Amino acid sequence: MLGWIYDVTQLDSVYSKKLYNLVRPQYTSVVCSGHSGSTLLSLCLNMQSDIAVFGEFETLPKRIRRMRGETDGLCSFHKESCAVINTAEIKVLARLYGGQESWYRSILRGLMHPYYIFHYRRLRSVKIIVDSSKSVRWASQVWRRYRWIFDQRFIILHRDPRGVVASFIRRGETANEQIRHRAQCWSEEQRQIRALITRLPRLRYHQVFYEKLASNPELEVRRICRFMDVEFSRELLEFEEGEHHIIGGNAGTRARIGKRAGKRINSNRSDIGYYLEQSNPIFLDERWKQDLTLGQKRLIESTCRSEMHRLGYLVET
Ligand SMILES: [Zn+2]
């Protein structure tokens, strides 16, 4: 039995990618550290008519447990008034992903995850589901368990650790210990990403740098579309025009879409104004260059030095 499963997973190297993938639905995992631009990427992809970005599957159990009755919603854009992830859909999700953690729950979730993916594809009438959970652990787990069910692909998104850690500093994590901790997390996540891609066939993953995505979105999104075998159009970059039903994501980017739809912005983030005042929906956020003190830069760079070198980020201190 195990041998048979192994043979099936090796089909990638035997048949052409396209032929084998005809029978498996595409499932694309976005993998990155937090605050690396995954919301921006998700919104662009969600504009493609063959794609539905579901959001963060991995955080579903926690989100469902946190819900206060049926008046709460899961869609980060429409909350309880969402027409797609509505009360009926939340019930399905709660049955599959909710409840207290136990061995029974984790087995059920493991078995039912593919079922939900097929269900959600039908519901949204799309070919491709994008899982923007970000975590290496979760994306690897899906790969280990379901690569014979899904045509799973990985979009690996990197961002300069100084930009990532500066986002946490803006949220109040200003103590050196907290900064070091966030920098260590970034380094560890980059190491895990390296370990993941060494296990993957080359055709399965595509690496993107946030700085390139934000400064030259057309070129980068075109490349991503080629990787996902979908058509590119300029509309993908005009994501503020679209309707999104995504679970999780950056509140600042969401606020721009909310404002456009005439909604009141409800967020405890102090830098929402920064997102709202940008003239273009896609912009390069390099506030870290002004915001970080020399000491903070030094702390982050000394912690992340080797991974920064590997990715080509220049160390300044
Ligand atoms: Zn919605």
Q: Report DSSP letters for 223-281, one per residue.
A: HHHHHHT----GGGG-GGGS----BS--HHHHHHHHHHTTPPP----TTHHHHHT-SSS
46-83 tens-digit pLDDT: 999 999 999 999 999 999 988 876 568 999 999 889 99
Q: Cα–Cα distance between 200 and 223 in angstroms, integer?
A: 19
Banded pLDDT at 132 (limits 50, 70, 90): very high
Domain 24-161+201-281: state its class. alpha beta
Q: How far apart are the CA of 86 and the centre of ligand 1, in A? A: 8
pTM: 0.90
Q: How far apart are the CA of 162 and the centre of ligand 1, in A? A: 32
Q: How far apart are the CA of 317 and the centre of ligand 1, in A? A: 45
Banded pLDDT at 15 (limits 50, 70, 90): very low
168-183 tens-digit pLDDT: 999 999 999 999 999 9
Q: How far apart are the CA of 73 and the centre of ligand 1, in A? A: 9
* Predicted local confidence at residue 268, as pLDDT: 62
Q: Cα–Cα distance between 53 and 39 in angstroms, integer?
A: 10
In the predicted model, is pLDDT for residue 17 greater than 90?
no
Sheet holding 151-158, edge to edge: 51-55, 128-134, 26-31, 151-158, 205-209
203-240 tens-digit pLDDT: 999 999 999 999 999 999 999 999 999 999 999 999 99
* Predicted local confidence at residue 44, as pLDDT: 97
265-299 tens-digit pLDDT: 556 666 888 888 888 889 999 999 999 999 999 99
Q: How far apart are the CA of 54 and the centre of ligand 1, in A? A: 10
In the predicted model, is pLDDT for residue 159 greater than 70?
yes
Burial grade of 84 (CB within 10 A; 0-12, 13-18, 19 or more): middle
Can you say whether the dihedral through the CA atoms of 290, 285, 276, 219 is positive or negative?
Answer: positive
Q: How far apart are the CA of 83 and the centre of ligand 1, in A? A: 6
| Of the candidates 204, 203, 202, 234, the residue with the CA atom closest to the CA atom of residue 219 | 234
7-16, 99-108, 152-161 — which is least confidently predicted? Answer: 7-16
Q: Cα–Cα distance between 236 and 208 in angstroms, integer?
A: 17
Instruction: Please give the C-alpha separations between residue 131 and each of 29, 159, 199, in angstroms, as whole numbers.
Output: 5, 19, 20
* Predicted local confidence at residue 18, as pLDDT: 55
Average pLDDT, the chain: 90
Q: How far apart are the CA of 76 and the centre of ligand 1, in A? A: 7
DSSP state of 70: G
DSSP state of 49: T
Q: Please name the helix (run of DSSP H) or strand (run of DSSP E) that holds residue 208, with its range, or none.
A: strand 205-209
1-14 tens-digit pLDDT: 444 554 455 555 54
Q: How far apart are the CA of 190 and the centre of ligand 1, in A? A: 32
